[in-house]
Amino acid sequence: MSESGTVWSARDTTPSAVEEALRDLLKQRYEAGEHYAPARVLNLVVIADREWRGEIQNRLEKVGRYHASRTIICAVDPGRTEIDAVASVTADEDDIAAGRLVVAREEVVVDVGPDQLAHLDRVVDPLLVSDLATLVWSPHGHDEAVDSLLRLAQIVLIDSISALDVGDAVARAVALMDRAYVVDLAWLRSTPWRERVAATFDPPQWQPELARISAVTVRHQRDSAAAAVLLLGWLARRLGWQPGPICAPDASGHCEGVARGDDGEVRLTLDRDETMPIPGLAGVTIETRSGLAISLDRGPGGLSAWRRTPEGHESRWTVTGASRGESGILGEGIRQALLRDKGYRQALIAAEAMVCS
């Protein structure tokens, strides 16, 4: 999509001036005779280190069709005391050229200093579109800024795999959940795996095997243990297991734990896949006491699936699906901000029992 835009910028400005500039930019568009309608879906507030601002903008550009309608990027610049801002209104040039109704998106980049983070709500408040849901994403930390914005925001976007320690990541998510609806990209990374594990056990002949699961192994990219733990937490919650602590990983990233099900123990294993270049899960293997085993692993065109029945019959197939990539995951996070998934809370509580005790 090529874009056409109108831009305003100012140094040492105020939030009220930025808000007024946005109104003027839209008015200019109307006066130009273009059939503009400002999108009104979601406010997205991003808090990012200024040096990574461009990278964040690039990531947001690539999210595909799930854009927020007004994006406010607060770029944190060490040593800064005043506010600089750039505001723009953009739209798809193809729609303009075709004379179609043009849906416009607004973006504001505000440069702020570290001293303003504890009261960032005072900067952001005038810039939000009233009555729209507001999502906060702070990929570079700055927890004090997130805390200050929780007065305005209903949803917080996090990525639990970005924390150095899985236990810390889960504890932070649990703490946030009491104050806002949390969308965790680590959880969304496990979505296709959850859907496909559920589908694998959906045929009536396989459903009884759910009660006989004896071992689950989740393979994950080096930094993505949180996504793996959330997948185990989901299984534990859905199947009524009582999960126990998972030991600290050894040098190879291997760690184990045990959950108690109604019919016996379930061995839980996390394995690091050093060959996987992108964040997320690499594979999952589930075994049952009657001898059924299934495995799903990343492969060309989807997931490579393998099943061995209790009678020893083996089969392999591909579960089709394209990789969403990191931009697709972020886009999914923005989309999920307007939905409500109770499964995350349940999985997170189960995960807490595994990694926070």
Please report which residue ranges of 70-215 form alpha helices under DSSP H.
93-98, 120-124, 143-149, 166-177, 185-189, 191-200
Q: Is 2 in the site for another protein (CB under 8 A)?
A: no
Please report which residue ranges of 14-165 form alpha helices under DSSP H.
15-31, 53-61, 93-98, 120-124, 143-149
8 A C-beta contact, residue 317 and residue 305:
yes
Residues 236-295 binding another protein (CB under 8 A) are 238-239
DSSP character at residue 41: S
Residues 128-187 binding another protein (CB under 8 A) are none
Q: What is the contact mask toward another protein in residues 94 to 133, using x (rule: CB under 8 A)?
A: -------x-x------------------------------
For 57, 58, 148, 279, 307, the CA distances from 54, given in Å and listed in that order, are 5, 6, 24, 21, 45
Q: Is 198 in the site for another protein (CB under 8 A)?
A: yes
Q: How far apart are CA 78 and CA 59, in angstroms?
A: 23
Q: Is 204 in the site for another protein (CB under 8 A)?
A: yes
Of 195, 250, 263, 274, which lies in the binding site for another protein, with binding defined by CB under 8 A? 195
- Closest separation in Å from C-beta 10 to another protein: 27
Q: Is 210 in the site for another protein (CB under 8 A)?
A: yes
Q: How far apart are CA 187 and CA 179, in angstroms?
A: 19
Q: What is the contact mask toward another protein in residues 15 to 54, using x (rule: CB under 8 A)?
A: ----------------------xxxxx-------------
Summarize as ranges the residues that interact with another protein (CB under 8 A): 37-41, 65-67, 69, 101, 103, 191-192, 194-205, 207, 210, 235, 238-239, 300-302, 305, 307, 309, 313, 315, 317-322, 335, 339, 341-343
